[in-house]
Amino acid sequence: MDASTEHRHGDKQALLAAVPLFKNTSTEVVDAFSRASDISLYRKGEALFLQDDPTDWFYLVLSGWVKLFRETLDGNEAVIDMVSTGQLVAETAIFENNEHSYSAVAIEDATVLRLPVSVLQGAIEKDNQLALAMLSSLSLHRKRQTREIESLTLQNASQRIGCFLLRLCRSDDEGPIELQLPYDKTHIAARLGMKSETFSRALNKLRQETGITVKGATVMIPTLDVMSRFACSACSNEFPCDDMH
């Protein structure tokens, strides 16, 4: 292995060691993943994988945004999640009959670390800490699904947008708070389970209720208190949510 390759190997080890799934695993396991992985660039609109593809790889997003979605029978998309830097994609696919249950597409140029599922399967059998971390990952996925089902059931469209904006804030932020939307409003609407026209009407109502201003991709929130009282009134959790930073 030449010096430049060894340097890249060390970089990948550092990237993996920072991921919760690998934090308590042995250095041998992290080393195995690092050596078997590769860094890949996906251009905007390019698919990492499609629904029902075999699960040969899972992915660590290093930069950019990736949309996870399922396609309905009439050709529409049901967006499951938007993931970005530091997040894993498809790490739980080994429990889904070795097929991806959704598609993943870059919505802007994205750099990812591709990791072989075969290495993950072998490592889980040998490393108890990794097995426990996988159970924790599954638990977090289930908790997120439960929260989103509650949001879709109980919150109106304006409250869901407010919740989305709150989750871009730090819990200790003091107003006024200026945010940059992470991706375009069409994708935000899809992520929140809305049509674009519904999103526009709901955003206008949110402006009236909370006094936020929106100019392009910039959002100004006067205070977290006003926003949280409006957005969280139909939620079982008080702000900040326990998974916020």
What is the percent of the chain where pLDDT is above 70? 95
- Return d(Cα 163, Cα 192) in angstroms, integer: 10
Q: What tens digit of pLDDT does each residue of 111-163 get?
A: 999 999 999 999 998 889 999 999 998 888 888 888 888 888 889 999 999 99
Radius of gyration of the chain (CA): 20
pTM exceeds 0.95:
no
51, HSE (Cβ side, Cα atoms, 13 Å) = 14
59: left (phi over 0), alpha (psi -120 to 50) or beta: beta
Residue 242 binned pLDDT confidence (cut-offs 50, 70, 90): low
Residue 15 has pLDDT above 50, yes or no: yes
Residue 48 binned pLDDT confidence (cut-offs 50, 70, 90): very high
Query: Which residues does 75 contact at the CB level (< 8 Å), separation at least 6?
Result: none
